Structure formats: C-alpha cells, structure tokens
Amino acid sequence: MLTFLNHFINGISLGSIYAIIALGYTMVYGIAKMLNFAHGDVIMVGAYVCFFAVSAFNLPPVLGLLAAIVLCTLLGIIIERLAYKPLRQATSLAVLITAIGVSYFLQNAAQLLWTSNPKIFPDFFGGIAIKMFDGQLIITLGTLVTIAACIIIMIALTVFTGQTKMGKAMRACSEDKGAAQLMGINVNATISTTFAIGSALAAVAGVLLCSAYPSLVPTTGSMPGIKAFTAAVFGGIGSIPGALLGGILLGVIEIFAGAYISTQLSNAIVFLVLIIVLLVKPTGLLGKQIREKV
Amino acid sequence: MKKFLTNKSTFSNYMTYAGVVIAFIILTIMGEAGGLSSTMKGQLVPVCAYVVMALSLNLTVGVMGELSLGHAGFMSVGAFSGAVVASALQQAIPSDGIRLVIAMVVGAILAGLVGIVIGVPVLRLRGDYLAIVTLAFGEIIKSIVTNLYIGIDAKGLHFSFLNPLEGLEAGGRMIMNGPMGIPGNTKISTFTAGFILIIITLMIIFNLVNSRSGRAIMALRDNRIAAESVGINATKYKMMGFVTSAALAGAAGTLFGMSQNAIIASKFDFNTSILVLVFVVLGGLGRMWGSIIAAAALTILPELLREFSEYRMLIYAIVLILVMLITNNPGLKNLFGKLIPRRKGAAENE
C-alpha cells in the first residue's frame, strides 16, 4: 500500500512537470493552431541557462530560475518573430516543418555551445524529504515544490485567461481570429504574448524536470516534449484544465506502468492508453466536440 | 501519342520515370569510373530507401491528405522482419538477390499487416488527432521491437519478448537481440535493387493515383462529406491508401536495413518519421518527383556539408527554416504564380 502511495506521489510529481509543458503546447495550439515542436527544446535551453547561472555564476537557485524564465521568454519571442510570424498565412504543414527546423537548430546550437557531455544538474532541494511510516513513505521537497508550482501556474493561468484583457483577447483569437481582429484585438501581439507565456512555462518545466532527473544533454527536452504534447492531446488540445488533467494522468500511468508492468514498456503503455482514450473520445478527455457543418 | 503529350499528369509521370532512370545510369557510370567518393557510394542505397519512404509518405500526406508522424514504425517493421528472414534463409538460399527480394516481400507484407492493424483505429480520427495517434503507434512499435529476441537453431525460429532468449540448441544463434537489435547483419542491398524498388514504387503510386480508387481517395481528401454523399466508402479507400503506403515503407525499411552492418530499433524513431515528412513537404505535397529530389538532396546534404564538420547540422536546420520561409513568402509565391501559370499545388497528379 505504501509503495503504491509512493509511486502515486512520484507519478503526480512527474505528471505536474508534463502538465506545465503541456500548458505551453495547448496555449500555442489553441491560438496559433500550430504544433510547436520546438517547445521541448526551449525546455532544454531553460535548464541549461539555470544550470550555468547556478554553477558558473554562483547565483541562488531562485535567481537561476528567474534568469531561465527571462531568457526563454526572449527566445520564444525571437523564434516566433523570425520563424513563425512570416508564415501566418501559410498551411499548417509548412509551419510544422519550420517548427521542426527550429527544434533541430536549438538542439544543434546547444550541442555546439555546451557539447553533448551530460551536465549533472545541481540538487536545489538538498535531499530534504518528509519521511513517514518509518521511512517507508518518502515525499521529497522537490516533489512538493513541483506539485505546488503546477497548482500555482494552473490557477494563475486560469485567472489570467478568464479575467485580464489580454487573456480575453487570447480566448477571442482562439475562437475566431478574423472576428477578433474586427473587434480591435491586435492578433499578432496576442499570438506573440502566448508564445512568451508558453516559453516562460517551458523554462520552469525545464528547471523542475532537471531537478528530478539531473542528467542534462542537448536532447533532454525532446522526449518530455513529445510526451507533454500527447498529454495535451489526451486532455483535449486547446483546453487548459485538459492539459493539467492529461499531464497528471500521463505521469501517473507512466510511473505505474513502469513499476507494476514493465519498465521497458512504460512508454508503449502510455501511448497505448492515449490511443484507447482517443478512440473512445476522439477530441480528448476535456476537448470540445466540434460539429462538422456542410 | 498526341493525347499522351497533352495529358499533363501522364507526361509528368513519364518524366519522373525518365529522371530516375537517367540518374541511375549516371550514378552507376560515375561509380564504375571512380567519380564517387566512398562515403557517397555508401549513401546510394540509403538514399534509395529514403526516396521510397518519401514517396510512400507522400501517398499518405499528399494524396490522402492525412498527416502521419509514425512512418518510421513501418520502416522499422520492414527492416527487422526483412533482416530476420534474410538471416534465417542464409543457408537455404545462397543467392543474395533472391534472398533480398524475399526479405522485401516479407517486410512489405508485415508492414502492410501492421498498417491494417493501425489503420482501423487511426483512420476514424481526423486531423491532428490522427497525427498524434500515428506518432503513438510509431513509439509503440519502437518499444516492441526493442524488446524482441529472436534466435534460430536446428528446430527453427525461437521468439522471446522482454526476456533474453535462452535454451538455444548447440549451433543455434541469435538473430535479434533486444535493445542491441541485429548486430551482425550481412549487407545484401545493392544500388540496382534500390533503383528497381523506386521504379516499382512509382508504378504502384501512379497507377493507384490514376485509377478509380485513386480518384476516390483524392475526392475524400478534398471534401470528405461531399465524397461520402456520392457514395464513396471513406474507410475502404483510406485503408487502401494507408496500407499501400505502409507496405511500401516496409519494403524501403528492408532495403535500408540490409544496407547497414547493424540495425537498432532506436534508428527508426520519431526523428526519422519527421525527417521523411520534411522530404515530403519540401518536395511538394502530392508531387512524386519533388519527393524524390528532396529526399535525395537532403540525405546527401549533410555529407556535402562535411567540411563544415560540427556546424553541418546547424546549417541543415537553418537551410530548412529558410527554405520554408522563402517558399511560403506571399510575394515570391505571386511572382512564381505569374511565371508558371496554373500551378495547382497538391492537385498536380489529378
């Protein structure tokens, strides 16, 4: 029972990281209707920035995180401006391939700058953990911080999209860009802001991810990126609560599948569950069913 | 003859065949005359395999209009099943050529069967959801292949899943070794075999596209509801296109696998699927000759950039982004539109 609970907590912790990444995917998809494949690599950049801020400049972890957020936000805006903005009118496949190009670019630039030798990410939480039931149930500080970060981000985003003017503009853009423009909403600025927020979230996710799994290489972001993308689809792409639900479910399923069925097959099981969910509910768990009109 | 020349798509199809034949002859002569470096020679068969992959994915993405992000999965099925068959038949059939043909047929059939299994659920979904499910299937195939152990001894083939295979009789050997894949592979693919496969692939695709079924598939792509309302069976025709595409990818996988010293499952991952998609999109959706040129050029490009050594993949990425930005620039598009009238994009092969 206690091992079960341990796995469950680990699953939620991993799922929280997926959820934070998935939020970035889902927001960008909801508004720009594009799969931003470079998102996973922004995570990697964020983790590297934090790593160097802390290990080379001896900054405290909080400032390292802040540096990562600022730089990733800038990076997100620059990528959007240079690579995606000229393609606003192009087909979604063209944008997809450009995103893949950006992803290759970031990975290879990271490889040149920082080599492919794994960097060992410092443990910010000093191994502090709450031990219960004679040490059978261990909850590390890192786990708690990750889950707390996910909840805070979730609430902040819900308030932001629901209450602020920019948030409302985002929702309007995701529903109908043409109509939003007619209402005087600056669609381009809204899309750029969405990319900025998504990239900032990616930086947070990168730091949390590397705190939990400390080996940092230029391809660190790609697999979590793909999984978070699946999580976003799982929950219903474009929906913020859906990304949270999808992320957490994906994390829990992955940890349980690894613990109780087979470590080698945990990825396969995660994807199998995704397929089954999409077959039963083709728009994801919380996705809106859109009627096709003739 | 007059009719043949006025029919634009037939003309373009024959030009594609002619281009492939001419390229084959030139490269063969250059190879014989020593005009090709050894790395380029080593690239010839993989280039053929990627060309076939690009053609088969173009059938799914360009002709059927469904985005697939797991095409490397079919390649993987073809590569491994083909290599196992070739290895198992090593004593029975001494001729490399016949063994390669049998391996390719088996690879194509198995990949086609996997295509049926995947197609049944996948083709019910639309758009990006279909893309993500194909991605998921690609990853599942990779996980399964990574954990598969196959050995051979006097009693025949032995299979094991997850656990390393034990209890082979004396004289038996492992063919597939889980995460290590197939370490000792005999290379039997040749450039000629690759060339023939490309021609066969082109014949299959052109004949399908220009048939009644092909027109049904394209009608479904252009407007599913309208097509269904005139009595086109969506599932049947989508399935036909998808399974053909999967089988061709399987044959390409066998060709590729048999040109490598070692095959591992992680070679056929998401990145490979994406790479092939890049060929298809750069070459132009539905344009078979475009796929051929893009696949060949982009497979060789990293080799040509070798003098930039460590910067080559960075340059590759920049080239990719720039090409997409330039080809989709509205100003340039208008210019091209004026120079080449009636350019219809994906509808080229109708």
Q: What confidence tens digit (pLDDT) does each residue in A147-204 have?
A: 999 999 999 988 998 889 888 898 888 888 888 889 888 888 888 899 999 999 999 9
Classify residue A252: in a domain, yes or no. Answer: no
On chain B, the residues whose CB falls within 8 A of the CB of A282 are: 124-126, 129
* Pairing of the two strands B148-153 and B173-177: antiparallel
Q: In sequence order, what are the residues at sequence separation of 6 or more whose Cβ sits closer than 8 angstroms to the Cβ of residue A239?
A: A26, A30, A284, A286, A287, A288
Name which of B61, B147, B324 is nearest A265 (Cβ-Cβ).
B147
Asked if residue A270 is part of any domain, the answer here is no
A256 within domain boundaries: no
Element (H, E) at A222: helix A222-235
Q: Do A233 and B143 touch (CB under 8 A)?
A: no
**Which of A36, A223, A250 is CA-nearest to residue B269?**
A223
Give residue B1's pLDDT: 47
For residue B343, the model assigns a pLDDT of 42
Question: Domain range spanning residue A48?
Answer: 2-222
pTM score, whole prediction: 0.82
Strands (E), chain A: 119-120, 129-132, 137-140, 215-216
Using an 8 Å Cβ cutoff, are B197 and B251 in contact?
yes
CB contact under 8 A, A93 and B67: yes
* Residue A110 and residue A45 in contact, taking contact as beta carbons nearer than 8 Å: yes
Higher pLDDT, residue A219 or B255: B255
**pLDDT over 80 at B238, yes or no:** yes
Output the average pLDDT for chain A.
Answer: 85
DSSP B269: S
Chain A hits for B61, CB-CB cut-off 8 Å, are 93
Per DSSP, what are the bridge partners of residue A138?
A131
Span of A99-103, B99-103, B309-313 with lowest mean pLDDT: B309-313
Give CA–CA dist B307/B171, Å, rounded: 47
B85: three-class secondary structure by DSSP = helix
Contact at CB, B128 and A35, closer than 8 angstroms: yes
Contact A23, A243 (CB under 8 A): yes
Three-state secondary structure readout of B23-37: HHHHHHHHHHHCCCC
Domains of chain B (ranges; CATH) run 2-349 (1.10.3470)
Query: Is residue A232 in some structural domain?
Result: no
CA-CA-CA-CA torsion sign (B271, B272, B275, B280) = negative
Span B217-245, average pLDDT: 90
Q: What is the pLDDT of residue B49?
A: 92
Q: Residue B87 pLDDT > 60, yes or no? A: yes
pLDDT digits (tens, 9 = 90+) for B135-188: 888 888 888 888 888 887 777 777 777 777 676 666 677 777 777 778 777 788
Chain B contact probe: residue of A98, A114, A280 with most B CBs at under 10 A: A98
Could you tell me how many CB contacts below 8 A there are between chain A and chain B?
Answer: 118
A8 falls within a domain: yes
Which residue shows structure tokens 């044959």?
B251
Indicate whether A257 belongs to any domain.
Answer: no
Give a yes or no: residue A28 inside a domain.
yes
Task: Please determine, for residue B36, whether its predicted confidence score (pLDDT) is greater than 80.
Answer: no
Report which of residues B317 and B194 the model is more confident about: B194
User: What is the C-alpha to C-alpha distance for residues B254 and B241, in angstroms, rounded to an integer?
Assistant: 20
Number of structural domains found in chain A: 1
Helix (H, G, I), strand (E, B) or coil at B61: helix
Confidence of residue B344 (pLDDT cuts 50, 70, 90): very low
- Residue A293, in any domain of the structure: no
Substitution target in B66, B318, B324 with the highest count of A β-carbons within 10 Å is B324
Residue A232 CA to residue A242 CA, distance in Å, equals 7
Distance CA A88, CA B258 (A): 43
Q: Phi and psi of A203, rounded to 5°?
A: -60, -45
Selected residue of B76, B139, B280, B329 to mutate for chain A interface (largest A Cβ count, 10 A): B139
C-alpha distance from B63 to closest chain A C-alpha (Å):
14
pLDDT category of residue A141 using cuts at 50, 70 and 90: confident
Band (pLDDT 50/70/90 cuts) for residue A291 is low
pLDDT digits (tens, 9 = 90+) for B222-231: 888 899 899 8
